[in-house]
Amino acid sequence: MKYTVNVIYEKDEHGYYVFCPQLAGCQSQGDTFEEARANIQEAIELYLETLTPAEIVERLSHEVITSSLEIAIA
C-alpha cells in the first residue's frame, strides 16, 4: 500500500535536516537535498516497519498543514 507522507526540510550551514511531523522522532539529514531526501525515505520505511497496519493508518491520517507568514519587525 502507498501513502503520502509529509516531510519538512531545513537548510543550514551543514546541509539539510529533514523530519516527518506525522512520525514522531523520524528524522534524518544529508549534505545535499537529494541525500537528505533519500535518507528520510529510508528512515520512514524503517520506522513504518515497526508499526502495525492500524498504527500506520492512524499516524499517516494525521493532517499536516504548512504555511509561510510574513512578519513585520519594527
Residue 71 inside a domain? The answer is no
Residue 3 inside a domain? The answer is no
**What is the grid cell recorded at 20?**
516527518
Residue 20 inside a domain? The answer is yes
Fill in the amino acid letter for 67: S
Q: How far apart are CA 47 and CA 51, in angstroms?
A: 7
**Number of domains within the chain:** 1
Note the pLDDT of residue 11.
98
Going by pLDDT thresholds of 50, 70 and 90, the confidence category of residue 62 is confident
Cα dihedral across residues 23, 42, 34, 30: positive or negative: positive
Range list of β-strands (E), the chain: 8-12, 15-19, 27-30
Range of the domain at 22: 8-60
Q: How far apart are CA 18 and CA 70, in angstroms?
A: 23
The dihedrals phi and psi of 18, each to the nearest 5 degrees, come to -140, 140
Note the pLDDT of residue 18.
98
Note the pLDDT of residue 46.
97
Residue 56 inside a domain? The answer is yes
CATH number of the domain that 52 lies in?
3.30.160.250
- pLDDT tens column, 2-54: 888 999 999 999 999 999 999 999 999 999 999 999 999 999 999 999 999 99
For residues 38 and 74, which has the higher predicted lDDT (pLDDT)? 38
